[in-house]
């Protein structure tokens, strides 16, 4: 029923040409939606309750070719674009945003980032195993004293006599940090941000306990610690001091797919409130006959479609070779609050039922809040947009 409903909504809004720009994109959406409904949805509530990452499910994503969606087939990827990445994140988030966040940390923050920033030897060594799901990837950027102010990071690496690097410092809020096999980690070399590949098991590298979270509980996060970790010079990504460029480039697609996650959450919440309003009666009639309920449904649908249109329109101008910070910041700035607002409205329509763990809206409501924080806060997007738009006028 939900699958037919979503198709009808897309047709009515007239944006199918945006959300499914080619037959290949439409086929991808159908494949991921079927997988999400049949395999991701049924496990979502339990993994949220336990705060547990579903590693076998990530492996299933590898079987479907979803883990390297934006990297070439030569290394095990699917050779698709940012719109395809948005499709996967939207459809997974309709069922389980927490699992989708773990998928994002793996496929976007590690796989996409390393492929487009690394060299051929690094691609051949690491990308095939993360594309199948044999290895789980993560990215370490934020620190206890450097979140939004990421350039203020204090982790540092110093060259030793052999030309290798000795890494010291810590990272926090690292999604997949406690389960990953390989990490892309940022640190300063001579005061300039540089990126490295770190492998689990390196001497001096440990992770802290899992951080207990309000939402997105099916993705686990923790702190990472580096105590004189010797990083082989072959694990330097790109050049010393060039990490900011690769970091900012990857943040653009991260913010875009986080917006797609917001669209997925909002879309599911619209469906849930429509279903409930069509079946729940009060004072002798279905509650969808009441103006207050009609407002929540109408505004929720409209805002979701607007966020969807902006997300997929911007996706056409985000790629490794094209910078579009204005577009990606604007998209996430608009879409993230929409997901939270629509989830809140769905809970209001459903009353006590929506507030209970018997319905997915309670979980989606908790999950939505992170999108206003992770991958750049709302305030960071305000700052970036004002700065970039002002500089364009000079």
Strands 137-140 and 182-189: parallel
Q: What are phi and psi of 172, to 5 degrees?
A: -140, 160
Buried b (16+ CB within 10 A) or exposed e, 162-184: eebbbbbbbbbbbbbbbbbbbbb
Asked whether the beta carbons of 303 and 248 are under 8 A apart, the reply is no
CB 198 within 8 A of CB 185: yes
Q: Which of 122, 161, 168 minimizes the C-alpha distance to 113?
A: 122
Contacts of 93 (CB under 8 A, 6+ apart): 100, 260, 261, 262, 263, 264, 265, 268
Catalytic center residues: 254
**Closest to 47 (Cα-Cα) out of 181, 179, 223, 208:** 179
Alpha helices of the chain — where are they, by DSSP H?
2-13, 16-19, 23-35, 41-50, 55-63, 82-95, 97-104, 113-117, 120-132, 243-279, 291-315, 325-355, 360-369, 378-392
**Nearest alpha carbon to residue 317 among 304, 298, 336, 330:** 330
- Find the helix packing angle between 325-355 and 291-315, rounded to 10°: 150
Do the bridges between strand 192-199 and strand 236-237 make them parallel or antiparallel, or are there none, so unpaired? antiparallel
Q: What is the DSSP pairing of strand 285-286 with strand 281-282? A: antiparallel
Q: Are 171 and 221 in contact (CB under 8 A)?
A: no
Name, in order, each residue with C-beta under 8 angstroms of 19's C-beta and a sequence gap of 6 or more: 10, 25, 29, 87, 308, 312
């Amino acid at each position: 029923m939900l699958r037919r409903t979503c198709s009808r909504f897309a047709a009515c809004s007239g944006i199918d040409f945006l959300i499914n720009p080619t037959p290949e994109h439409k086929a991808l959406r159908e494949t991921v939606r079927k997988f999400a409904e049949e395999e991701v949805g049924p496990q979502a509530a339990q993994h949220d309750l336990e705060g547990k990452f579903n590693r076998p499910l990530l492996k299933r994503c590898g079987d479907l070719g979803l883990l390297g969606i934006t990297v070439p087939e030569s290394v095990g990827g699917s050779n698709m674009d940012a719109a395809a990445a948005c499709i996967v994140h939207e459809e997974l988030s309709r069922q389980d945003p927490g699992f989708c966040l773990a998928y994002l940390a793996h496929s976007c923050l590690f796989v996409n980032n390393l492929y487009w920033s690394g060299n051929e030897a690094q691609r051949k060594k690491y990308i095939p195993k993360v594309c199948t799901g044999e290895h789980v990837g993560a990215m370490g950027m934020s620190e206890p004293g450097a979140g939004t102010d990421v350039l203020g990071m204090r982790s540092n690496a110093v060259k030793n006599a052999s030309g290798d690097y000795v890494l010291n410092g810590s990272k926090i809020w690292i999604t997949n940090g406690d389960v990953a096999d390989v990490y892309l980690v940022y640190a300063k070399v001579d005061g300039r941000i540089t990126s490295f590949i770190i492998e689990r098991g390196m001497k001096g590298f440990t992770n802290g306990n899992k951080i207990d979270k309000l939402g997105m509980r099916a993705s686990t996060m923790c702190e990472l610690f580096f105590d004189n970790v010797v990083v082989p010079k072959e694990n330097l990504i790109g050049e010393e001091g060039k990490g900011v460029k690769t970091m900012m480039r990857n943040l653009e697609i991260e913010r875009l797919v986080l917006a797609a996650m917001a669209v997925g959450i909002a879309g599911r919440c619209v469906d849930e409130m429509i279903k409930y309003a069509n079946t729940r009666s009060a004072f002798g009639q279905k509650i969808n006959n009441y103006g207050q309920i009609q407002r929540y449904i109408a505004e929720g649908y409209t805002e979701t479609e607007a966020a969807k249109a902006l997300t997929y329109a911007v996706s056409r101008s985000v790629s490794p070779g094209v910078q579009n910070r204005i577009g990606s910041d604007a998209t996430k700035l608009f879409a993230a609050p929409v997901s939270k607002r629509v989830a809140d409205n769905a809970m209001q329509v459903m009353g006590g039922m929506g507030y209970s763990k018997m319905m997915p809206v309670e979980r989606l409501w908790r999950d939505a809040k992170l999108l206003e924080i992770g991958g750049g806060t709302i305030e960071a997007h305000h700052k970036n947009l004002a700065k970039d738009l002002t500089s364009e006028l000079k």
